[in-house]
Amino acid sequence: MELPLTQHIVPGRKPLSLKEYEKVGGYQSVRKILKAMTPVEVQTLVKDSNLKGRGGAGFNTGLKWSFVPMGPEAATPKYLVANADEMEPGTFKDRLLLEGNPHQLIEGMIVAAYAIQATISYVFLRWAYKLAAQEITQAIQEAQEAGYLGENILGSGFSLEMHLHTGVGRYMCGEETALLNALEGKRANPRAKPPFPQVSGLYGKPTIVNNVETLCNLPHIVNNGAEWFKGLSQSPDSGTKLFGVSGRVKKPGCWELPIGTTIREILEEYAGGMQDGYLFKGLLPGGASTDFLVEEHLDLPMDYGSIQSAGSRMGTGTMIILDDQTCPVGFVHNLQHFFAQESCGFCTPCREGLPWVEKILLAIDRGEGKPEHLLTLDFHTKYLGPGNTFCALAPGAMEPLQSALKYFREDFERHIHEHHCPWSKVWQPSI
């Protein structure tokens, strides 16, 4: 099994230095494109590889790049931004790449920047990733000193600045236009689209925002070709994917596997199965803002189409496991508390609806729920859904709620009828 993304990452060991990275083929893709490929040829190669965005949306990366205006009349400067603001609960895949092999990210960013002719780039990093910040800062400095960044890279005439920007800790910054507002020093509110960032992004100039894992795939695609990348997969979606598992499993962690690996294989073979004394109840397949899947879905391949056909999203590919001894109502309430807290407050449904959902779930969890509360929650899952809010935060928050009401409704009803949480050893009324 080929593992291009993680083959040089050893947990607990310092990442490869520039010299070590070069010895294993590092920056060869940069030399190749600067010497023998035009920007449009790089775009076409990535488009043909069917590399889909690994941040959750799953949009074809090369196609996204093709919307950037090219040619002498295009506005300049153009910008490239690596979205390393990994704030999705249950998601920790990019951290592995950032801490384990920062030169791979930098190389991928140079490839992407050349493809769209961007001359300024940023790594927008989650504030809590302190070790990643240190490693990225050192790697950027090494790449600069070696001539891979800066003016006239390797004598090609192409130039690229690269900067590290550390966020202040808002989940909203994961949305690309809110991220761009934050980079500009503004409040992290999402922008209206159109115009899209590819045409008018950072400071009103053409901008591409790509996820860390997406960018790290680029050097390998350039070096090995589109067909090679397609051949890594077990499904129509190309390449490998970083899959993670958290919850009451024996070996929680993160692994690079072919896209199309089944949920059961990831859960049982790599995560070691459920801990002794616990049974599987459900899972969120791609972070906190995806719909629950249950026992009947365990043999589904983890790819974009299969998970969508089951009524959820692959998202970031990082599973959160719900076990039989964890209260589903409390589980979902915890998520809604997070989403309500992280709403930017820009639009009314999200600003007012999420706190109301959280309040109702808290009441149900405390044994103070009423039958009509379930109808109110059903109402919110529809009216905070897609098309009713300014961005995807509230619709994403509704995904675990609407699926919990579908698969675990009896647990919600039991809370209401018994006037306490069945999972609580000692129930105490709210004060």
Q: Which domains does the chain have, with CATH numbers?
A: 18-231 (3.40.50.11540), 240-323 (3.10.20.600), 328-418 (1.20.1440.230)
What pLDDT does residue 169 have? Answer: 86
Rg (C-alpha) for the chain, rounded Å, is: 22
272 vs 284: CA distance, rounded Å: 18
Local structure of 253: helix, strand or coil: strand
What pLDDT does residue 429 have? Answer: 44
What pLDDT does residue 12 have? Answer: 87
Of the chain, the end-to-end C-alpha distance in Å amounts to: 57
Mean pLDDT for back-to-back runs of 10 residues, the chain (431 residues): 95 94 98 97 98 91 96 95 95 96 98 98 97 98 98 97 94 93 95 94 98 98 98 95 98 97 98 97 96 98 96 95 96 96 93 96 95 96 93 95 98 95 63 39
- Residue 183 has which token pair? 């980079």
413 vs 420: CA distance, rounded Å: 11
Backbone φ, ψ for residue 387 (5° rounding): 90, -10
What pLDDT does residue 426 have? Answer: 40
Evaluated on CA atoms 179, 184, 187, 192, the torsion sign reads negative
- Sequence-ordered list of residues with C-beta below 8 angstroms from that of 76, at least 6 positions apart, any chain: 119, 205
What pLDDT does residue 425 have? Answer: 60
What pLDDT does residue 374 have? Answer: 97
Local structure of 151: helix, strand or coil: coil
Evaluated on CA atoms 258, 263, 269, 271, the torsion sign reads positive
What pLDDT does residue 294 have? Answer: 98
Q: Order of strands, edge to edge, in the sheet holding 79-84?
A: 161-166, 120-125, 79-84, 207-211
